[in-house]
Amino acid sequence: MKVTWLGQAGLMFETNDKIIIVDPYLSDSVEKIEPQNKRRVPVDESFFDIKPDIVVLTHNHLDHTDPDTLKHYIKENSNITVLASGNAWQTVRKLFGGKNNYVMFNRGTVWTERDIKFSAVKAEHSDDKAIGFIIETEGHKYYITGDTLYNEDVFSDLPNDIDYVFLPVNGRGNNMNMTDGKSFCERVGAKAIPLHCGLFDNLDMNNFAYKNKVVPEFYKEINL
């Protein structure tokens, strides 16, 4: 499995000849609405040439479900699978339509693509349909929390053998801060990849105190 950080909460997984893109934000859309959230890292436009097989959208906020980014991946005849939580599902179907397979990917939903299994789990966020999800492939379980706060109900959805957890630690916009993120990771018991910092703020994820972690770099493969 190769995993690349696209900035913010965006991730690209490459496994078994499949490319999976999660919550890509590669534009200045947020700044147009919220001028204080100016992009600090330029867009790497080389990622526009990627042709994903699967796009996963955890919720319907602009830095996760961004039309200006998604238009590079979801086209009328792209014929890809889009796993999107309820509100994001409504958005992308209206925007892009076409012959793509739009799957309403709400909590408890399972989708299997060849030998890759996706399972949607609870997230506690301001979008009432927000999800996290788990990818199972190549003998490992990768848990992408999506945007979420620490909430006891989340843990009831999780298996006890997660290998990697990707989580927000910026502490704004109904996301965990670094303190709660550390407690969350201790409960999950997996290697952690902190996210959602450095694009709109100057937070240093090296300060995330959970020891078993890998701090990602923009647009680079994460050394799991």
Residue 76 has pLDDT above 90, yes or no: no
Q: List, for residues 119-144, the tens digit of each pLDDT value.
A: 999 999 999 999 999 999 999 999 99
Report the pLDDT value the prediction gives residue 16, as an integer from 0 to 100: 86
Q: Which domain holds residue 93?
A: 2-207
Count of CB atoms situated within 10 Å of the CB of 215: 18
In a domain, 222, yes or no: no
Report the pLDDT value the prediction gives residue 77, as an integer from 0 to 100: 87
Number of domains making up the chain: 1
CA distance 189 to 102: 33
| pTM (two decimals) | 0.97
In a domain, 215, yes or no: no
In a domain, 221, yes or no: no
In a domain, 223, yes or no: no
Confidence of residue 3 (pLDDT cuts 50, 70, 90): very high
Q: Residue 97: which CATH number?
A: 3.60.15.10
Count of CB atoms situated within 10 Å of the CB of 49: 7
Q: Which amino acid is at 152?
A: E
Residue 167 has pLDDT above 90, yes or no: yes
Confidence of residue 98 (pLDDT cuts 50, 70, 90): confident
